[in-house]
C-alpha cells in the first residue's frame, strides 16, 4: 500500500472510532504506549482501565480475549487512555508513586480479585512475600493461589503485583517477564534510595 493510501486509511479509521464513540458503540478502547519495559497495550471500558498488557503476551491475542470476555466492539482510540498514558509516563520518570485512575476489575473474580484488590496496600518501593499476601487476605495456606492471582493480574503496574516476591527474596514470576519485574523494582527502589535524584 502506498504511503498516501496508508494515511487515508489511518484518517478513516480514526474518524470511524470518533463516530463510534459518539454513538456509544465501543465496548473496549485501546492504545499502545512506549515504556522502559517495552511497548504496553492499555485497554479501557466505560468503567475504567480494564487491561494492561506486555508485548510478550501478543497484543492481538489480548484483543481477542477482550472481545470474548468484554465485547467484540474493540477499537483503537487513544483519548480514553490519555490519563493512564500520562500517569505511566510520570511513574517511569520517577515523578509519580501511585495511580489515580478508575479501574475496571471485571476480568478477575473470587479470591484472585481479592488478592489483586489487596496488592495496592504494598507501598511504592516496598515488597511483600506470597506468604505475607496469603496471610493478609485471611488465607495463610493459599500461597500458591496468591501466586496465581499475581500471575493473572489483568492490570499489571497499576495493580502492583511486581512487589510480591518469594519468601527468600527471589523474584518468583511475572507476566511481563522477570526482566520487566526487575526493572520496576529497581525503578521504585532507586527513587526511594535517592529521593532528590
Partner 1 sequence: MTANPAFELVVRRHGTAVLRMCTALLGPGPDAQDAWSETFLAALRAYPSLAAGANIEAWLITIARHKAIDILRANHPIPMDEVPETVVLPEVTGQLELLESLASLSELQRKVIGYHYLLGFPYADIPAYLGGNPASLRRAAADGIKALRSQHHEAEEES
Binding status of residue 41 toward partner 1 by CB under 8 A: no
Q: Residue 39 or 167: which CB sits closer to partner 1? A: 39
CB of 42 to partner 1, least distance (A): 14
Q: Does 79 engage in binding with partner 1 (CB under 8 A)?
A: no
Question: Which of 19, 47, 126, 144 touches partner 1 by CB under 8 A?
Answer: 19
| Torsional sign, CA 177, 131, 188, 110 | positive
> How many Cα atoms are found within 13 Å in the side-chain-facing hemisphere of 56?
9
Site for partner 1 contains 16 (CB under 8 A): yes
Running DSSP on this structure, what letter comes out for residue 48? S
Residue 162 · residue 179 · CB < 8 Å: no
**Cell numbers for 96:** 509519580
Q: Judged by CB under 8 A, which of 52, 66, 122, 155 binds partner 1? A: 66
Q: Which of 34, 16, 42, 23 is nearest to 99 (CA)?
A: 42
Among 42, 50, 63, 180, binds partner 1 (CB under 8 A): 63
Candidates 48, 57, 76, 132; binder of partner 1 (CB under 8 A) is 76
Contact between 33 and partner 1 (CB under 8 A)? Answer: no
DSSP 161: G
Q: Which contacts of 168-176 are long-range, i.e. CB under 8 A and separated by 24 or more positions?
A: 172/130, 172/147, 173/147, 175/54, 175/56, 175/57, 175/151, 176/37, 176/38, 176/54, 176/56, 176/57
Q: Is 161 a catalytic residue?
A: yes
- Judge whether 130 and 147 are in contact, CB under 8 Å: yes
- Least CB distance to partner 1 at residue 30 (A): 8
Assess 58 for contact with partner 1 (CB under 8 A): no
Determine if 186 is a binding residue for partner 1 (CB under 8 A): no
Catalytic residues: 161
Interacting residue ranges for partner 1, rule: CB under 8 A: 1, 5, 8-9, 12-13, 15-16, 19-20, 23, 25, 28, 30, 60, 63-64, 66-68, 71-76
Amino acid at each position: 500500500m502506498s504511503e498516501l493510501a496508508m494515511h487515508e486509511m489511518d484518517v478513516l479509521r480514526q474518524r470511524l472510532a470518533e463516530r463510534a464513540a459518539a454513538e456509544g458503540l465501543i465496548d473496549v478502547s485501546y492504545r499502545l504506549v512506549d515504556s522502559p519495559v517495552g511497548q504496553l497495550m492499555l485497554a479501557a471500558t466505560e468503567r475504567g482501565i480494564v487491561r494492561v498488557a506486555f508485548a510478550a503476551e501478543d497484543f492481538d491475542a489480548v484483543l481477542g480475549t477482550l472481545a470474548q470476555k468484554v465485547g467484540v466492539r474493540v477499537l483503537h482510540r487513544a483519548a480514553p487512555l490519555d490519563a493512564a498514558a500520562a500517569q505511566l509516563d510520570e511513574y517511569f520518570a520517577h515523578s509519580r508513586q501511585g495511580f489515580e485512575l478508575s479501574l475496571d476489575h471485571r476480568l478477575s473474580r473470587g479470591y484472585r480479585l481479592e488478592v489483586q484488590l489487596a496488592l495496592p496496600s504494598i507501598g511504592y518501593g516496598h515488597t511483600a512475600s506470597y506468604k505475607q499476601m496469603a496471610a493478609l487476605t485471611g488465607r495463610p495456606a493459599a500461597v500458591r493461589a496468591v501466586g496465581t492471582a499475581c500471575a493473572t493480574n489483568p492490570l499489571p503496574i497499576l495493580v502492583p503485583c511486581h512487589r510480591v516476591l518469594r519468601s527468600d527474596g527471589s523474584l518468583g514470576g511475572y507476566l511481563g517477564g522477570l526482566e520487566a519485574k526487575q526493572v520496576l523494582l529497581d525503578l521504585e527502589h532507586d527513587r526511594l534510595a535517592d529521593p532528590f535524584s
